Every structure is written in C-alpha cells, then in structure tokens.
C-alpha cells in the first residue's frame, strides 16, 4: 500500500502539484509534508504507529484560489480515496442536512471502487479469455451428437460443418478466436445471456431507519433474490464490453476487496471539508442559527478526532484519515470554531488572492489550462486554435479587473471570460467555419469582444 508513496518525497509532491496549480507555495509545502508523514507513520515501529495522528490542515482563502484543486490533486498523486463535502450541507442535521458520518461512508465507497478496479485489472487477461470462450460458444456451438458443428452466420442461420472428430472443430474455434482478437468479427451479431441482479427498492413503514441499516436491508434482500439471466442480441464488440466486467467480477474476491478498501481508506483516505467557515458560530449568544452551526461542529468533532463508523462494507476507524478543511472566513474567523475542533486542525495555511500575473500563468502553464482545453475541443472539429501571448495577457487583465470591481471569484472568472470570448467561434463550427481552418486569438480580438462589456459596469455585473 505504501510502495507508491515511497517514491514521493515532499519536493516531488510539490513538483507534481506545480503542474496544475499556480502559486500557493506555502499550502503545497504543507500538504506535501502531510502526505509524506503518512508514509513515515506506516513505516514506523508498530507500537508507535497508532500514536502518530495526522496533521489535519485548515486552508484559509477566498473562493477560486485553488483550495479544492490542491486537495483533489494530492489525492490523485497519492492514489488515495478522496471525498469532498460542504460543511453547510450538515446544517440542521436531522431536518434538512446530511448525517456527518455519510462522508466517511462515501470515502469507503470510493476506496471499494478503487480496489475493485485494481483487482479487475489484475485478472483482465483471464477475464478476456473467458469472454472469448463465451463469444466463441455463441458463434460456434459445441459439436452435436451427430458429429456436426455449426457456425452462426450474420443473418442468424447456421452453416453445418461435418466433423470426423473434435479436432476440426477445435481448429475452427482457434481460427475464429484469431478473428475476434483482430476485430474482424466486431460487427457480427450474437446472442448472449447477461446476468441481472434483482435489487428492489425497499421502503420501511413505522419508525425512522438510518442509512446504514437501510443499505444493509437492501443488500440482504438483493442477495436473497435469485440472479436472472436476460438474453440480448448484440455485436461481438458490444458483447466483449458487457461480458468483460461480468467475468472480471466473478474472478475477484469481494470480501478481500472490502478488507483492502477499508484499510486503504483508514490509512490513505483524504476528506476535504469545504465551507467550514459557514458553520463557524459567533460568540454572541446561545440561540438561533448559531446553535445549529455549533451542533454541526460538535457532530464533526468525533469523526475528525477518531471514531468507529459503521458502513455496509464493515467498520472503519477514522483516526488516521487526513482531514483538510477550507473556508474563505470573510465574515467569521478560524477562532470562531469551537476550541476542540480548532485543535484538530493544527496546520493553518493562508492562500493568497490571485494577481493578474497569476491569471496569465494559469492560462499558459498548467497541463489542464483552459487554453489547452479549448485547443483540444477545436482540434476535434479539425480547426486549429492559437492564442497569442498578448491575448493571454489581455484576458488575464480583464479577469483581474472584473474580480476587483464586481466580485472576486478567483480563477473561476477565467472560465466566464474565455466562454464569452470564444462562444461565437464554438457556435459557428462546423457550419460556418470549416475544417482545416486556423483561428488566431489576438489582443485586439480580446479587446474588441470584451472591453466594452467590462467598461459597462451594469452589464459586467450580470454577465461577467
């Protein structure tokens, strides 16, 4: 489980984050250390492992500066299960909010999905062979007692092949196996049987039933119901896709998957709690909405502190899950959180507001830069899109000005500006602008399309 982390030093983690996130070096360093500490804990003597608690992080910064992206990319780098929740969803728990334990259950579901995918990849070759055999049986049914084998044709009829013994039939099957592997029979129709799991929706009359109990009841009833096969007529290509997942599932041990997933979630899981400032209560009184907010904090506390949560896959202990909380803290401040919860987020990181220069780098540098996304989309239509350096600087300048004058939504403003700039082109392709065209976005084009809108404060407030 720690082999992947073994190769990730803090510097390498920061380098990986730099490929997608501009600036925020302090935040990157802290999350890199937190991630490396997980490897250090798991490679410490067993008697001390339990005592090493994760350094949970509280990120403070306005919307759109990269808080969520840092946490999400960190999880991808570590190949760790990751869940993002908004703390405000837990407000007034039991009335309109969600049960705080649901985020831990979601994390386990993520982990189960990751481990299942990994296990399926391990048995992929065996599963492919099993799928080939099923497809071959549909194309060339076994030899009949009469000693005649039959090969299905495209129209559903059968061509008889006399057999002296099973040897010729075997050679025919091998020849067809090669054709399947080469894709020569992809468009041929065959009839296959697909397993269907009868999983009825169950409702309870009477007292309230919690989420876990309901999931367990539904799973129990689902296991009791017989699996029924349904015959479908599909192409060989479609059959391969449908059957591969089914055959791979038969080859993996789900009990082993669940055990590994819970271990992975416990030791590597990352839960990102956004908008935590929305549940920070002022010190003014003891009634009104502040009671609900403080109640959410007190519900979050045992999860962050370390507790056992029951899920449909088993019990998970949250002691070593890494929690990253984030909030803008415009109205409230971190000290408005209850002291016990504050103490569970010992690492405080303040993220900087993005500058015009940052916007320029965001458009130009990251692997997933907006400009690169638009270039890729245009390429799919056979159109070449090019951004001049001056155009990128002008887009960055406009986005920064709008953020300063209207409302600061960080890097998300770039999406609005880019969309407005390129929407006419996106609409005209491919009807008005044909394939093999070359579009160059210049500073003059950006000014022409956007500057008038930016100057009109009333319009920019609603459109940008």
Is 22 one of the annotated binding-site residues? Answer: yes
Number of H helices, E strands in the chain: 20, 13
Query: What's the gap between Cα 65 and its chain centre?
Result: 20
Q: Is 406 annotated as a binding residue?
A: no
Pairing between β-strand 347-350 and β-strand 57-60 as defined by DSSP bridges: parallel
Q: Are 55 and 239 in contact (CB under 8 A)?
A: no
CB neighbour list of residue 326: distance below 8 Å, 6 or more residues apart: 58, 59, 60, 61, 67, 68, 71, 272, 273, 274, 275, 276
Q: How far apart are CA 248 and CA 130, in angstroms?
A: 9
Is residue 66 part of an annotated ligand binding site? yes
What does the alpha-carbon distance between residue 417 and residue 435 come to, in Å, rounded to a whole number?
A: 25
Torsion of CA 448, 451, 452, 457, to 10 degrees: 170
Q: How far apart are CA 53 and CA 37, in angstroms?
A: 10
Please tell me whether 84 is known to bind a ligand: no
> SS3 breakdown of the chain: % helix, strand, coil, rounded to 5?
55, 15, 30
What are the angstrom distances between the C-alpha of 382 and each of 149, 371, 375, 385, 438?
49, 16, 10, 10, 9
C-alpha span between 5 and 259 (Å, rounded) = 20
**Chain center to CA of 319:** 24
Tell whether residue 276 is among the known ligand binding residues. Answer: no
State which H helix or E strand residue 32 sits in.
helix 25-42
Query: Any known ligand binding at 327?
Result: no
- Angle (CA) 227 228 232, round 5°: 135
Element (H, E) at 252: none
Q: Tell whether residue 167 is among the known ligand binding residues.
A: no
What is d(CA 43, CA 425) in angstroms, rounded to the nearest whole number? Answer: 55
Q: Is 68 annotated as a binding residue?
A: yes
- The whole-angstrom separation of Cα 370 and Cα 377 is 11
Assess contact for 67 and 351: CB atoms under 8 A: yes
Residue 65 in marked binding region: yes
Binding residues for ATP: 22, 64-69, 274, 340, 412
Binding residues: 22, 64-69, 274, 340, 412
């Amino acid at each position: 489980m720690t082999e992947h982390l073994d190769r990730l030093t803090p510097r390498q983690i920061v380098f990986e984050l730099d490929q997608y996130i501009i600036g925020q070096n302090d935040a990157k360093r802290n999350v890199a250390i937190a991630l490396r500490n997980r490897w250090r804990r798991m490679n410490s003597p067993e008697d001390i492992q339990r005592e090493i608690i994760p350094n949970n992080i509280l990120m403070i910064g306005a919307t759109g500066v990269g808080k969520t992206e840092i946490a999400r990319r960190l999880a991808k780098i570590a190949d760790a299960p990751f869940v993002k929740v908004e703390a405000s969803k837990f407000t007034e728990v039991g009335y309109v909010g969600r049960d705080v334990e649901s985020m831990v259950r979601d994390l386990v579901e993520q982990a189960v999905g990751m481990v299942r995918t990994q296990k399926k990849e391990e048995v992929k070759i065996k599963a492919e062979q099993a799928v080939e055999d099923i497809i071959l049986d549909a194309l060339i049914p076994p030899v009949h007692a009469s000693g005649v084998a039959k090969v299905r044709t495209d129209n559903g009829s059968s061509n008889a092949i006399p057999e002296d013994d099973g040897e010729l039939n075997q050679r025919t099957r091998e020849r067809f196996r090669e054709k399947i592997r080469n894709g020569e029979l992809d468009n041929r129709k065959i009839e296959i049987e697909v397993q269907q799991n009868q999983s009825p929706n169950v409702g309870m009359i009477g007292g309230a039933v919690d989420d876990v109990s309901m999931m367990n009841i539904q799973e129990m009833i689902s296991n009791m119901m017989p699996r029924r096969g349904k015959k479908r007529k599909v192409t060989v290509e479609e059959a391969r896709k449908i059957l591969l997942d089914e055959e791979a599932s038969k080859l993996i041990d789900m009990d082993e998957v669940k055990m590994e997933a819970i271990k992975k979630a416990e030791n590597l899981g990352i839960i990102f709690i956004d908008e935590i400032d929305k549940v920070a209560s002022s010190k003014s009184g003891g009634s009104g909405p502040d009671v609900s907010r403080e109640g959410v904090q007190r519900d979050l506390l045992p999860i962050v502190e370390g507790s056992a949560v029951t899920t449909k896959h088993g019990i998970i202990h949250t002691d070593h899950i890494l929690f990253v909380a984030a909030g803008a803290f415009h109205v409230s401040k971190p000290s408005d959180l209850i002291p016990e919860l504050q103490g569970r987020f010992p690492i405080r990181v303040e993220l900087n507001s993005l500058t015009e220069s940052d916007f320029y780098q965001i458009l130009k540098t990251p692997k997933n830069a907006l400009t690169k996304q638009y270039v890729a989309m245009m390429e799919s239509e056979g159109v070449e899109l090019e951004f001049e350096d001056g155009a990128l600087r002008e887009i960055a300048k406009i986005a920064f000005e709008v953020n300063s004058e209207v409302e600061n939504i960080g890097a998300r403003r770039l999406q609005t500006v880019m969309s407005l700039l390129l929407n006419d082109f996106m609409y005209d392709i491919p009807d008005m602008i044909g394939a093999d065209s070359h579009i160059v976005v210049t500073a003059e084009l950006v000014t022409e399309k956007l500057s008038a809108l930016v100057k009109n404060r009333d319009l920019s407030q609603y459109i940008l």
